[in-house]
A and B are shown apart, each in its own frame.
Chain A
Amino acid sequence: MSEQTHQRLTPAPPSGQLIDSPRFPVAAKHELGNAQQRANLRHATHTIRDKRARVVGELDNWEQLRLAGEAIKNKVLRNLPDHLVRLEASLTANGATVHWARDAAEANRIVVGLVQATGSHEVVKVKSMATQEIELNEALEDAGIAAWETDLAELIVQLGHDRPSHILVPAIHRNRTEVRDIFREEMGRYGTPAPPDLDDNPANLANAARGHLRDKFMRAKVAVSGANFAIADTGSLVVVESEGNGRMCLTLPDTLISVVGVEKVLPSFDDLEVFLQLLPRSSTAERMNPYTSIWSGRREGDGPQDVHVVLLDNGRTRALADREGRQALRCIRCSACLNICPVFEKVGGHAYGSVYPGPIGAILNPQIRGTASEVDRSLPFASTLCGACGDVCPVRIPIPELLVHLRHEVVEAKKADHGVHLPHAEPLMMRSGGWVMGDHRRLEAAQRASTLGGGLLGRFTDHLGPLPWPLSAWTSARDVPTPPTETFREWWRRVRGDDPGPAASGDTPAGHTPEETR
């Protein structure tokens, strides 16, 4: 972090770097303790997931749309460099300036330089995940430039000295009473204050935000955006939004700088037909989003006259190199997987230590950031593999399969670490368990411990309470039944004999003639 000798221009986010976040189970335990947040999350996720199911159910070709979305994105990923070069050429022909950024630092340097060249000391921002990912706001703050979030939820998060906890609904963890308190407390410090008698009526809260942002829109010379899609054949960028704040940013300022992940490219304008159906229904559960802005470079006398596009890698090509893992790059950031996820519903986005939380974050972060950090190593395990995320994904990312794929990568990385870390108990347990399961005689020997224990304990109880580690993790809140004194295979041998089939005599059902296996 920079030294805070000068007074900050914008509200300070929580201190520390996301990459240094604690392991998911530790962070999750902390979040579980927040009863208000749990209630907020439960209400919000259930509302939006039910609504999504309804609007998706209206289309009888939803599966075909998903297949088309998957196919188009796969086509892009197979030949990404070609599509990007075409995009650069068409954007340039349209009068935009294209910049390439290998990582967050380079992207931030480019954007800061572009803003400084305009002489402006502030920018208005369209909601953008790419700029959250590279922490552009803090880079601008360090350069003496104030970045104002104009999306309502991003505004709540920024004014609340907070971090987003959801891709689509960054303030999903807040309820309207908390929002009212944040607006009353903070708005006046950074611009037009909230009305002193502001209550928690949603319309009044929206009006307070409108009033606060109006000045900033009217005086802004520079806007920063992301893009939902970048169209290679026409050199167009697309932003879909609900509030109209994006449209203000994209039309009023003189300079527009868009930071776009390289995976956002689509080959042709026609491809929008598919994605403008998939995205709104999957994200906000709307048939159509209220505002779709499409701009193609610079147009004389209409909108920003200085248009820049920063194409961002920041780990995406690392993911692209993994034939299986690259499927995560199909993501269109709709958040359907977050809303359906029972784990996300319990803990919210902050537990994931990234601007990309939930199931997609659990597969995206370890790929674009790598598996060196504690949090990234824990993310692929932050799922029960229930499969709900994969079923709702509009571009058919097999999230559960990729979670397992990345678990394997983490395990291999841990095994390779043995030189520096103490041997971990888990690999030893798994190796011996795998060996036991390689031969039924070994399994039978292991089962004897269970039936012996069952025989001893069964005299006293039919349910066991707290047990020692590692089973304590189970029994701290859950009983286990006392193991039976006879396994199934022991019963089978006792009653049916050693042959795989039923014994020739008494146990065969009357009148039934055993036959040979067909």
Chain B
Amino acid sequence: MSTPAGPPTAADAASTSLPGTGITVALFATCVNDTLFPGTPKAVVTVLERLGCRVVFPREQTCCGQMFTNTGYFDEALPSVRAYAKAFADYDYIVGPSGSCVGAVRDQHPMLARRTGDPGLVVASERVAARTLDLSEFLVDVLGVTDVGASFPHRVTYHPTCHSLRVTRVGDRPFRLLRAVRGLDLVDLPEAEQCCGFGGTFSLKNADVSVAMANDKADNVVSTGAEYVVAGDNSCLLNIGGVLARRRSSVTPIHLAEILASTEEAAS
């Protein structure tokens, strides 16, 4: 299953046997990453191109609309659903670095489209939803790769975000990818599958409960002695990292894609 990609060499560059050769990926950056965490989609580009994929960025993309949908504003989410269906209509592989946004596209876009009674939008939404994958799914399932040639000599703990775990259901793919990273010391996070308390607008509407949950998560993260807490969703990391930063903790939040993009060359 796992095809060691290794650090790119001259021989690799000349060969056409890279796992992604011939595959075009449309990058779904997500609005949060686009605006606040541009380093994450850049890292996706690095990883995918290292594996031989051609990466394109359809600039008509905006947002998955989840914030509107999950706050009960279905009509207000529709412009996002339409923009997504239009931006990604022509691609076989749509890949995003977010279990949550990918889950929203797959789980909610067809439902929102059906409410409009517009059969064209239903078909278009179902089509793009079926082709939308989280980065970890694309790497492991489509490219058949767990070793992406990364190196990250640090102690790391992984928080499986709720939507990657229970909506997108990425399963153990992130673990398999992390275990193949050179030098990485992966330590178990206690109560790993418990929500960090983010929950989109929950973090504002029920801020007190949200903070109490984030503090539990931060306690567990700190207890591992890890230098980095890694996840597949920057929104959750914003929440966990927000509490860690307020405590002046030395643990750094980092997206899975950024670890996978790291190489010995980049570090030196």
Contact = CB atoms under 8 A, between A and B. Distances in A.
Nearest to B39: A484
A450 B35 CA distance: 7
A381 B243 contact: no
A407 to B, nearest CB: 3
Interface string B119-137: 0000000000000000000
A517 B91 contact: yes
Contacts of B38: 484, 486-488, 491
Between B54, B65, B204, B209, the greatest number of chain A beta carbons within 10 A of the residue's beta carbon is seen for: B209
Interface stretch (A8-16, A86-94, A150-158, A439-447): A439-447
A434 B75 contact: yes
A343 B34 contact: no
Given A386-B162, A488-B33, A430 B73 contact: yes
A477 B203 contact: no
Interface of A: 24-25, 28-29, 32, 342-343, 346-347, 380-388, 390-391, 404, 406-412, 426-427, 430-431, 433-440, 443, 447, 450, 463, 465, 470-471, 473-481, 483-484, 486-489, 491-493, 496, 498, 500-502, 509-512, 514-518
A343 B212 CA distance: 9
B62 A437 contact: yes
B54 A514 contact: yes
Interface stretch (B149-157, B173-181, B191-199): B191-199
B167 A511 contact: no
Nearest to B210: A384
Contacts, number: 236
A509 B13 contact: yes
A434 B79 contact: yes
Contacts of B76: 430-431, 433-434
B83 interface: yes
Contacts of B5: none
B79 A438 contact: yes
Given A380-B72, A384-B199, A476-B207, 18 more contacts: A28-B209, A342-B195, A388-B193, A408-B72, A409-B72, A430-B76, A433-B76, A440-B87, A478-B211, A481-B241, A484-B38, A487-B38, A488-B34, A488-B38, A500-B26, A500-B57, A515-B22, A518-B92
B144 interface: no
Given A430-B76, A443-B31, A488-B38, A384 B57 contact: no
A431 B198 CA distance: 22
B67 interface: yes
B71 interface: yes
Contact of B55 (A343, A427, A479, A502): A502
**Secondary structure at chain A's binding surface: helix, strand, loop or mixed?**
helix
B14 to A, nearest CB: 6
Contacts of A439: 62, 79, 83
Interface residues of B, number: 89
B56 A501 contact: yes
Contact of B42 (A440, A491, A498, A511): A491
Given A381-B205, A437-B62, A438-B83, A387 B72 contact: no
B79 A437 contact: yes
Contacts of B102: none
Contacts of B79: 434-435, 437-439
Contact of B24 (A382, A433, A496, A517): A517
A486 B206 CA distance: 31
B26 to A, nearest CB: 8
Contacts of A427: 73
B24 A32 contact: no
Between A426, A478, A496, the greatest number of chain B beta carbons within 10 A of the residue's beta carbon is seen for: A478
B213 interface: yes
A438 B77 CA distance: 9
6 contacts: A342-B195, A384-B200, A386-B166, A474-B207, A478-B243, A487-B38
Contacts of B91: 517
B141 interface: no
Top 6 A-B pairs ranked by shortest CB distance? Answer: A438-B79, A384-B199, A478-B242, A434-B76, A407-B72, A387-B166
A347 B54 contact: no
Between A28, A343, A391, A409, the greatest number of chain B beta carbons within 10 A of the residue's beta carbon is seen for: A343
A440 B87 CA distance: 10
A412 B75 CA distance: 10
